[in-house]
Amino acid sequence: MGKYTSNKLQIYNTLTGEKEVFKSLSEGAIGMYVCGPTVYSNVHLGNVRTFMSFDMIFRYFKHLDYKVRYVRNITDAGHLENDADQGEDRIAKKARLEQIEPMEVVQRYTVDFHNILNTFNFLPPSIEPTATGHIVEQIEIIKTILEKELAYEANGSIYFDVLKYNESNNYGILSGRNVEDLIHNTRLLDGQSDKKNPQDFALWKKAEPQHIMRWPSPWSDGFPGWHLECTAMSTKYLGENFDIHGGGMDLKFPHHECEIAQAKAWHNHSPVNYWMHANMLTLNGQKMAKSTGNNILPAEILNGDNDKLTKGFSAPVVRFFMMQAHYRSILDFSNDALLASEKGFTKLMEAVSSLSKIEATKDANDFDAIKWRSNCYAAMNDDFNTPILIAELFSAVKYINQIKDNKASITNSNLSILKETMQQFVFDILGLENIATNDQNNKLGATIELLINMRNEARAQKDFALSDKIRDELIGIGIQLKDGKDGTTFILD
Ligand SMILES: [Zn+2]
């Protein structure tokens, strides 16, 4: 019997707007699909937060002894610049601008995505399928939807007929939008589209002559619409009806709304029982956007190479910072917030180290570990409430510090529950790692300062062979020295 049998897990379901008791379709097993990145640029920090939320959820399911099949796709074709099925394919555009093959763009940014996720200690999903690997499946779905007359061909492209679908279904069931409002609010520029109605969306787009990413189909040489790939891949690996579909809040409409419509048009089932959406990340109170400069890359947080930061922060500190907010709340990223999280994280790691050295006393006990452990589970069972969980962990930290200072005591059985539960929640579920604490960072900084001083002495004595050797060997291990008018500083790659 898995731990899931004794935990009443509640999940907020976007589809119903309520927290619901979670029940998986098949006993002890979960199918979960999360929309992955479009690999045309470095992964956005906001996306890292979304994927981290689902990593934590995946970890908790595993902890509860569920057998989880977690599918997170890679979008390597079909995602156009704007949601109205217009503009260039994002990957093809990047390839054109950089004069490289589209698949080089895909490879470069897929590698970047995996590197960043590894740095932040993500577990790999069970399956990571790509859109271009599932073109055949997408064409087959389009054929069925056409047969059911819920899509139409126009000039080699295929569009989903939203109005026709809405006659016997509810387009807007997830996002709460209604078709009449959509019609009034969407303007279609004359001659810009082959669509019958502006709210229709592309299942297949005919490729313009200059478009490099193209596949043959019964209708034209072209490429699939972005929404269709997720329907194809989720159904292929999880079935026509599966437990959980997740993604960022911005994907609720139109992407996920379209996924529901496609699946119902295709196989008559509502595809997903629980829709989950992770909220946004802002930077210094503003939306993050490359165009306004209010942006920071995940790698820059680590090396501190961004003018919005006073220093770099270790990956576990950033992870701890993100876990301090509930996944459905907006989280604001700032240097001050990171500094505060660093202090909290260090305190937590110090307590974990102290815990390994604590000894139990035979009779005296001031801590009810069983009650505390059930509070930790209650926090996670309440729609994965990590901030409440962290507050519970800190009540244990306070107690650990009291024992260390001989102001409290603990029995053997309570101590073993405390140790095991801390290990499970801090490392297995929150995914934190006890590396690069403040103290270690300080020691690293002091060591590099020592080498910078030795290099300066070598230069003063005109021993350039030695000074260059110090600089080059530091570069070799990923530490770059920067000479400026206020002396030499360093950044970690
Ligand atoms: Zn998707």
Ligand 1 midpoint to CA 132 (Å): 14
**pLDDT in the model for residue 192:** 59
Mean local confidence (pLDDT), 195-217: 91
Work out the average pLDDT over 32-51: 94
Alpha carbons 58 and 125: distance in angstroms, whole number? 9
Give residue 34 CA to ligand 1 midpoint distance, Å.
7
CA–CA separation, 79 vs 223, rounded Å? 10
SS3 220: coil
What percentage of residues in the chain have a pLDDT greater than 90? 74
| pLDDT, the chain, mean | 92
Distance 247 CA to ligand 1 centre (A): 7
The Å distance, Cα 127 to ligand 1 centre, comes to 14
Ligand 1 centroid–CA 138 distance in Å is 13
**Ligand 1 centroid distance, CA of 226 (Å):** 8
Summarised one tens digit per residue, pLDDT across range 360-402 is 887 677 789 999 999 999 999 999 999 999 999 999 999 999 9
Give φ, ψ of 359 to 5 degrees: -115, 145
Got the DSSP string for 404-446? HTTS----HHHHHHHHHHHIIIIIIIS-----S-HHHHHHHHH
Cα of 202 to ligand 1 centre, how many Å? 14
Ligand 1 centre and the CA of 44: distance in Å?
16
> Phi then psi for 309, rounded to 5 degrees?
-120, 145
Q: How many angstroms separate the CA atoms of 149 and 154, rounded?
A: 13
How many alpha carbons lie under 13 Å from residue 286 in its C-beta half-sphere? 11
137, containing H or E segment: helix 135-147
Distance 134 CA to ligand 1 centre (A): 14
Distance 230 CA to ligand 1 centre (A): 5
d(CA 301, CA 398): 29
If residue 91 lies in a helix (H) or strand (E), which one and from where to where?
helix 90-98
Distance 74 CA to ligand 1 centre (A): 9
Q: How far is the CA of 345 from the centre of ligand 1 (A)?
A: 34
Cα of 156 from ligand 1 centre, angstroms: 24
User: Cα(12) to centroid of ligand 1, in Å?
Assistant: 19
* Token pair recorded at residue 145: 């939807």
- The arrangement of strands across the sheet holding 331-333 comes to 286-287, 281-283, 331-333
Residues 325-350, mean pLDDT to the nearest whole number? 97
pLDDT-based confidence at residue 4 (cuts at 50, 70, 90): very high
234 CA distance to ligand 1 centroid (A)?
9
Give 111-137 pLDDT, tens digit per residue. 999 999 999 999 999 999 999 999 999
Give the model's pLDDT for residue 293: 83
Q: What is the mean pLDDT of residues 82-105?
A: 83
Cα of 112 from ligand 1 centre, angstroms: 20
Which pLDDT score, from 0 to 100, does residue 493 have? 67
Distance set, CA 37 to CA 130, 234, 241, 350 (Å): 10, 15, 23, 36
Q: Which residue has the tokens 């895909």?
A: 106
Through-space distance between the first and last CA atoms of the chain, rounded to whole angstroms: 46
Give 288 Cα–ligand 1 centroid separation in angstroms: 21
Q: How many CB atoms lie within 10 A of CB 164?
A: 18
Compute the chain's Rg from CA coordinates. Answer: 26
Residue 188: predicted pLDDT: 52
- Listing DSSP states for 221-256 in one string gives SEEE-HHHHHHHHHHHHH-SSEEEEEEEGGGIIIII
**Residue 179 Cα, ligand 1 centroid: separation in angstroms?**
21
Phi and psi of 161, rounded to 5°?
-90, 95
Ligand 1 centre to CA of 378 (Å) is 31
For residue 47, report the distance from its CA to the centre of ligand 1, in Å: 13
364 contact partners, CB below 8 Å, separation of at least 6: 409, 411
The pLDDT value given to residue 190: 47
How far apart are the CA of 227 and the centre of ligand 1, in A? 6
Structural tokens at position 421: 């539960």
Q: What is the pLDDT of residues 432-445, one digit of tens each?
A: 998 755 456 667 77
pLDDT score of 286 more than 90:
yes
CA 79 to chain centre: 18
* 82 CB burial (10 A radius; 0-12, 13-18, 19+): exposed
Confidence of residue 185 (pLDDT cuts 50, 70, 90): low
In Å, what is the CA distance from 79 to each residue of 46, 109, 289, 384?
18, 15, 19, 31
476 CA → ligand 1 middle, Å: 40
CA of 320 to the centre of ligand 1 (A): 27
Determine the average pLDDT of the residues in 279-294: 89
Beta-strand ranges (E) seen in 319-364 are 331-333
Can you read off the two tokens belonging to residue 154?
A: 């126009």
Distance 231 CA to ligand 1 centre (A): 8
Distance CA 261, CA 169 (A): 8
pLDDT at 189 over 70: no
265 CA distance to ligand 1 centroid (A)? Answer: 17
Q: In 235-248, which positions are buried (b, 16+ CB within 10 angstroms) versus exposed (e)?
A: bebbbeebbbbbbb
- Taking the centre of ligand 1 as the mean of its atom positions, its distance from the CA of residue 456, in whole angstroms, is 54
Instruction: Please give the sequence-ordered ranges of beta strands (E in DSSP) within 178-318, or none if there are none.
Output: 201-206, 222-224, 242-248, 272-278, 281-283, 286-287
What is the C-alpha separation between 359 and 147, in angstroms, rounded? 72
In DSSP terms, 286 is beta-bridged to 283
Give the distance (Å) from ligand 1 centre to CA of residue 137: 15
Strand partners, 127: 71
CA-CA distance, 276 to 246, in Å (whole number)?
5
Cβ atoms within 10 Å of 159's Cβ, excluding its own: 22
